[in-house]
Structure 1
Amino acid sequence: MFRPLAASLIAGLTLSTASLAAEVDVVVPGNYGDLTDDLRAASLSVRTVDEGTTDGQDLIAAAKADYRRMLAALYEAGHFSGAVSIKVDGREAANLSVLNRVPSVNRIEIQVTPGPTFRFSRAQIAPLPQGETPAEGYAAGELATTPVMREAAEKGVTDWREDGHAKAAVSGQQITANHAANTIAADIRLAPGPRLSFGRTLLTPETANSSVRAERIRAIAGLPEGEVFSPQEVTTAERRLRRTGAFRSAVVNEAETPNADGTLDMIVDVEDAKPRRFGAGVELSSTEGVAVTGYWMHRNFFGGAERFRVDGNIGGYNGDLDGIDYGISASLTRPAFRHPDMNLRFGALLQHLDEPGYRADLAEATVGIERFITENLTAELDFGVRLSSVDDAFGSRNFNHIIGRGKLQWDRRDDDLDPRRGLFAEVEAEPFIGFDGSDTGARLYGDFRGYYPLGESFSLAGRVQAGSVLASTLAQTPPDYLFFSGGGGTVRGQDYQSLGGSVVGGEVVGGRSFVGLSGEIRTKITQNIGLVGFVDYGYVASGPDFTGGDWHAGAGVGGRYYTPIGPIRFDVAVPISGESGFGVYVGIGQSF
């Protein structure tokens, strides 16, 4: 008996609350579908009601503000003779006072008559730097809209700033509407100001108290004192500071007033990040087992934004393979070494590998540089010593090498963990000079990826890998320098490292040349769920010239669960050549 009564009371309260919500209509006579949507999006009345506001005074205030907002939306679409009427419960909002208490509002009707579109009869902007032209669309005969005029003014100022005139600004504008001819005459005047050079690099008081030393902040920013001002140099300085990881935020501002000598001081404002950080990752494969990685990092090790990092990994646990891999590495990176875009780095590595075709213990120590050539292009060059002890089909051996390692990376992807558009290319060359009886040779490797969206939901992804080992013989090349195929990094569905260059004593040994091809089609079926279909192909040859080798392939489907840190990957694959079976692969991020 009491439950129906309670339900009735709740329903009554719900209906009573709903009845208090005002109704907002935006009426545009004629066929103006897109314009109607733009007007509704610009309406403060619509937004206020959508947010649940029912107070009459607030709704009247929103309605009165909509006169200006409706006209602004019309100007943005090129309508400069429109008429707007806004009625609140049948009374014109302009005649209402927000001071008179109105307990509630039932209906707001916004009637907009757009009128004809206007075109430029004149579109002038001056002066402009030599060789520069006005913004696209800012010309006589073109549709006149406020965004086009705004863009013309912004482009004019930007063009002058890029020519070194840091204090360029709009000095005046005259916009005249001819309603009889439906035209707009626009005249924008610019004040370039003097051509300036970079002055001193100053620090805010908060930045001066940073845990990173002041001279290191200036060196990392790398603002070129004495050179002609460039907005791109300011943007680059901010990117350099953020790239170190030592700062939570980094902003470079221009001084308000130039100096008497024609220079302009720059003011650096940074906020320190927490110096210590750690992280971990897990990947799972039905054939390779569980792989766990982790790291600890200090982002300001010596007070100069030096980054010290220790990485550890263990893999192969509980897989079909017998052995467990493990290793530890450490690196120290000093930014702004002899150039703001160059890092000096030191590295050390200890690793044990227990792979299907070999077992190896290795140690490596390197020193090198990392050069940021452009925002998307990075070069690396390292030199070091590498020692390893190996047991494989060729017997037990020791390798001793002096190594050089060069890498060039070009990255134009829109996202590292979940790319949908762009290109990625990485090429490596690693010559190794043997001593104490070890052979000399070189290892070359390339990784090329492309991504192309198909509408809003689908995208294509492709990958090509290729590598070759030159000069040294198969038996005298460290096995971890040779190429294998099969597993999560090459051909899903095939057993891990099941394909090599040849078989010696019943064991698969690596090859000296390799090609890997992968293709995926990806789609999102909800905001958080995605599906993937893929095909992988691998080819390995015993010689360096890619001839006389064997190939295998795999295909499958996968699921993606999208999180703020990237998609969680779950793939199931089967061989489409060779033996039957299947593989399961779980990790974070897309497969490539």
Structure 2
Amino acid sequence: MSLAFRRTGTALGLGLSLAFTPVLAGEAYAFKIFGITIFGEDEAVNDVIDPVRYSITLDTDGADKDLAAALERTSLLLRGEDAPVSGDLGLVIKARDDRDRLIATLYENSRYGGVVSVTIDGRDIDALPPIPAFARNGPILVVVRVDPGPAFSLGNVTLQGDAAGLDPSVYDLVPGGPAGSLIILKAGEKIVEDLKGEGRPLAVLARRDVVADHETQTVDVVLAVEAGPVAPLGEVTVKGARKVDPEFIARYSRLRQGQAYSPEQLKKAAERLRALGTFSSVTINEADGLAADGSLPLGIVVAEGKHRYFGVGASFSSIDGLGVEGYWGHRNLFGQAESLRLEGKVGGLGDWSGVEDLDYSAGITFIKPGAFFPSATLEAGIKGTTLTTESYDAASVLGKVALAYEITDYDKVTAGVSLGYDDIDDAFGNNTYLTFGLPLGYSRDTRDNKLNPTEGFNATLSAIPSYEILGETFFSSFEGSLSGYYSLGVEDRVVLAAKLSAGMLVGAGDLEAIPATRRFFAGGGGSVRGYAYQEISPLDASGDATGGRAYALGSFEARVNVTETIGIVPFLDIGSVTAANYPDFSDIRMGAGIGLRYLTPFGPLRLDVAMPLDPYDGGSKYGIYAGIGQSF
């Protein structure tokens, strides 16, 4: 079943694939989204052979609050208490695995003298026979007792081999400091990574000695690294390509024979190829040794996915009613990962008196990666739409051709040409426009994750010098935005996020001379939540929205992970749209609310509810927004 919600007054649009699956276990049911069980009992529970139920007591007396919480998070017995295991032996195996995990957690917290004991049905697991048998009168009692012991600190730290000249403190190895096992493991990995970053692909950790002295409660560490010689990249081969040109794959990866070896560049190359959407998997393999000329051969192994795809969906809005949409695409049109996508949509079904009351959109987009240069992408498209908003009605056709060039892994510039036709009915009456534009842009994106960032920032700047041909009017729009992220606490459980953006229109003496589709409005899921889409605008003497020449927006969120999969997000949005040539904040509107996040492997599912703090008379009273990924 496919459902969607789209916001134009009180709802926002997104297609979600939902599966409501009855499970034959009494009257239990499971509810799934994208194949992930949200609540209820999964079908897999009923596939367990010889199911055995158990109850667990985890005794962490002597552990501080943080350590006790870490032990509780580690215990699979505790987390899986509601699910049966397979047979009595299965329970013993799970208990032994749990003991190993708990001991590892003690080591991670510098507790090298800790003891973990486990009993099942009153018997120590080390004293059980090879084929155990327990009474099945009820859930079998499992008791886990943890004596954490004292916290150890680092003693002598010695770096040897090619790491001898490095400063251990750079890697958090400080005598007298924490001696957690993860600190030591990460230090070794980071030393190897740093030496590889110097262009030494054969760097390996040759020796790691960790000795705990229980009398002094210290841990001595010896790490020895063999870095090998500096080596450039050698021959780059491609395997697994069927319909995609192997030479294109090698060129688009931007891994060239003779360039300096860099693990980061190899990682970026794989990400770049995956982002094409043409391949189901991409792996870059390094040779075990150097070639005769001292270079490092590389092998790019790809598996092609399905090149053609299509989809259909439905949406519902309390204002627009029912909508249907469909699309078709090709991810490898001419053999070099060129993509073509055709899409169409009809909105306003179910509450209309004729076809003239419907909203339509149809478009075609062509993208050519690696156009002219490996770092360049050509995009061309044309789209026609009819749109009914709180502020204006428009029938538009826009054609655009643009070239994007990646200066670095984080910086990108774009330039293009556009031509748009608009037939608009707004506060100034019915007018037609034919506008030629030169869209220019720059972006710098250092976010660690595009859908769920925890650190970094994303900055964009854009300018569109334009000429409205019918009215012979020159004008230009300038916009910029900056979003940043800062994580707090263990495992990024709290992330503070903020976004600031502003824009202004320059030129054109009368606002009427600029198409409403190019004037500034605010409100809706992309700006000030709680207000209707494009509801925030300067008003004329008759109280009709005109759009503005300038705007300023700010959004602030605290993203709190309550569990590993559930998060809550209180937020505040602030916006101002003015008729002046610069943001003068003469009319400030704010929306506040709270969101729910369900974390999935492909990004968080988002549901936000917001209310305007200063609503317009007769305007929106609340907003509900759904989507995939964070709001910004």
Superposition TM-score tier, normalisation by shorter sequence: 0.7 to 0.9
Secondary structure at the counterpart of residue 265 of structure 1? strand
Cα–Cα, structure 1 residues 479 and 446, in superposed 2: closer, same or farther, change >3 Å?
Answer: same
The letter for the 1-side match of 2:206 is S
Deviates more, 1:223-232 or 1:368-377: 368-377
1:478 alignment counterpart? 515
Deviates more, 1:455-464 or 1:241-250: 455-464
Contact 2:352 2:358 in 1 (8 A): no
- Cα distance in 1 for partners of 2:348, 2:97 equals 66
Q: Map residues 118-517 of structure 1 onto 2, 5 A cutoff.
A: 118-128=152-162, 132-134=166-168, 136-204=171-239, 207-208=240-241, 210-279=242-311, 286=318, 294-315=326-347, 318=351, 324-353=358-387, 360-373=394-407, 377-389=411-423, 399-411=433-445, 423-435=457-469, 438-449=472-483, 464-474=500-510, 475-485=512-522, 500=537, 503=540, 508-517=545-554
The letter for the 2-side match of 1:515 is A
- Cα distance in 2 for partners of 1:327, 1:511 equals 25
The letter for the 2-side match of 1:311 is E
- Cα distance in 2 for partners of 1:71, 1:498 equals 58
Deviates more, 1:61-70 or 1:508-517: 61-70
- Cα distance in 1 for partners of 2:223, 2:561 equals 47
Contact 1:315 1:326 in 2 (8 A): yes
1:5 alignment counterpart? none
Deviates more, 1:73-82 or 1:262-271: 73-82
Bigger Rg, structure 1 or 2: 1
Cα–Cα, structure 1 residues 272 and 95, in superposed 2: closer, same or farther, change >3 Å?
Answer: same
Contact 2:458 2:482 in 1 (8 A): yes
1:11 alignment counterpart? none
User: What are the superposed Cα offsets for residues 82-136 of structure 1, whole Å, 9 maximum, x if unpaired?
Assistant: 67777788887667663xx553488877777666554444211123469743353
1:8 alignment counterpart? none
State the shift of 1:413 in Å: 6.0
Contact 1:174 1:188 in 2 (8 A): yes
Cα–Cα, structure 1 residues 153 and 449, in superposed 2: closer, same or farther, change >3 Å?
Answer: closer
- Cα distance in 2 for partners of 1:62, 1:532 equals 39
Contact 1:379 1:407 in 2 (8 A): yes
2:133 alignment partner, one of 103, 109, 120: 103
User: What are the superposed Cα offsets for residues 366-391 of structure 1, whole Å, 9 maximum, x if unpaired?
Assistant: 32212344555443221233444556
State the shift of 1:195 in Å: 1.5
Cα–Cα, structure 1 residues 203 and 131, in superposed 2: closer, same or farther, change >3 Å?
Answer: same
Secondary structure at the counterpart of residue 517 of structure 2? helix
Cα–Cα, structure 1 residues 374 and 319, in superposed 2: closer, same or farther, change >3 Å?
Answer: farther
Cα–Cα, structure 1 residues 93 and 403, in superposed 2: closer, same or farther, change >3 Å?
Answer: closer
Deviates more, 1:50-59 or 1:464-473: 50-59
Cα–Cα, structure 1 residues 394 and 41, in superposed 2: closer, same or farther, change >3 Å?
Answer: closer
State the shift of 1:140 in Å: 3.2
Secondary structure at the counterpart of residue 481 of structure 1? coil
Deviates more, 1:566-575 or 1:454-463: 454-463
State the shift of 1:243 in Å: 0.9
- Cα distance in 2 for partners of 1:94, 1:167 equals 43
- Cα distance in 1 for partners of 2:117, 2:558 equals 52
Secondary structure at the counterpart of residue 158 of structure 1? helix
- Cα distance in 1 for partners of 2:454, 2:302 equals 33
State the shift of 1:493 in Å: 6.3
State the shift of 1:271 in Å: 1.8
Cα–Cα, structure 1 residues 109 and 531, in superposed 2: closer, same or farther, change >3 Å?
Answer: closer
The letter for the 2-side match of 1:328 is A
Secondary structure at the counterpart of residue 587 of structure 2? strand
Cα–Cα, structure 1 residues 539 and 91, in superposed 2: closer, same or farther, change >3 Å?
Answer: closer
Cα–Cα, structure 1 residues 331 and 29, in superposed 2: closer, same or farther, change >3 Å?
Answer: closer
- Cα distance in 1 for partners of 2:219, 2:618 equals 73
Cα–Cα, structure 1 residues 137 and 582, in superposed 2: closer, same or farther, change >3 Å?
Answer: closer
User: What are the superposed Cα offsets for residues 487-506 of structure 1, whole Å, 9 maximum, x if unpaired?
Assistant: 66555666765665564899
Secondary structure at the counterpart of residue 171 of structure 2? coil
1:576 alignment partner, one of 598, 610, 614: 614
- Cα distance in 2 for partners of 1:344, 1:382 equals 9
User: What are the superposed Cα offsets for residues 192-250 of structure 1, whole Å, 9 maximum, x if unpaired?
Assistant: 1222111111123xx13x32111111122121210121100110110110111111221
Deviates more, 1:114-123 or 1:264-273: 114-123
Secondary structure at the counterpart of residue 479 of structure 1? coil
- Cα distance in 2 for partners of 1:356, 1:29 equals 62
- Cα distance in 2 for partners of 1:316, 1:508 equals 22
Secondary structure at the counterpart of residue 509 of structure 1? coil
| Percent identical residues | 28
The letter for the 2-side match of 1:148 is I
- Report the count of equivalent residues: 566
Secondary structure at the counterpart of residue 241 of structure 1? helix
Contact 1:521 1:534 in 2 (8 A): no
The letter for the 1-side match of 2:333 is F
Cα–Cα, structure 1 residues 94 and 516, in superposed 2: closer, same or farther, change >3 Å?
Answer: closer
Deviates more, 1:46-55 or 1:131-140: 46-55
- Cα distance in 2 for partners of 1:512, 1:157 equals 54
- Cα distance in 2 for partners of 1:521, 1:65 equals 36
Q: Map residues 25-104 of structure 1 onto 2, 5 A cutoff.
A: 52=84, 75-80=107-112, 98=130, 102-104=132-134
- Cα distance in 1 for partners of 2:111, 2:257 equals 48
Secondary structure at the counterpart of residue 151 of structure 1? helix
Cα–Cα, structure 1 residues 545 and 115, in superposed 2: closer, same or farther, change >3 Å?
Answer: closer
Secondary structure at the counterpart of residue 399 of structure 2? strand
- Cα distance in 1 for partners of 2:95, 2:586 equals 74
1:544 alignment partner, one of 568, 581, 595: 581
Contact 2:56 2:142 in 1 (8 A): yes
The letter for the 1-side match of 2:506 is L
- The CA RMSD over aligned residues, in Å, is 4.8
Cα–Cα, structure 1 residues 161 and 454, in superposed 2: closer, same or farther, change >3 Å?
Answer: closer
The letter for the 2-side match of 1:245 is G
The letter for the 1-side match of 2:578 is V
- Cα distance in 2 for partners of 1:506, 1:172 equals 76
Cα–Cα, structure 1 residues 481 and 25, in superposed 2: closer, same or farther, change >3 Å?
Answer: closer
Cα–Cα, structure 1 residues 389 and 191, in superposed 2: closer, same or farther, change >3 Å?
Answer: same
- Cα distance in 2 for partners of 1:88, 1:392 equals 75
The letter for the 2-side match of 1:329 is G
1:9 alignment counterpart? none
Gap regions ≥5 residues in structure 2: 1-49
Secondary structure at the counterpart of residue 190 of structure 2? helix
- Cα distance in 1 for partners of 2:432, 2:460 equals 30
Contact 1:450 1:461 in 2 (8 A): yes
Secondary structure at the counterpart of residue 510 of structure 1? coil
The letter for the 1-side match of 2:577 is Y
TM-score scaled by length of structure 1: 0.76
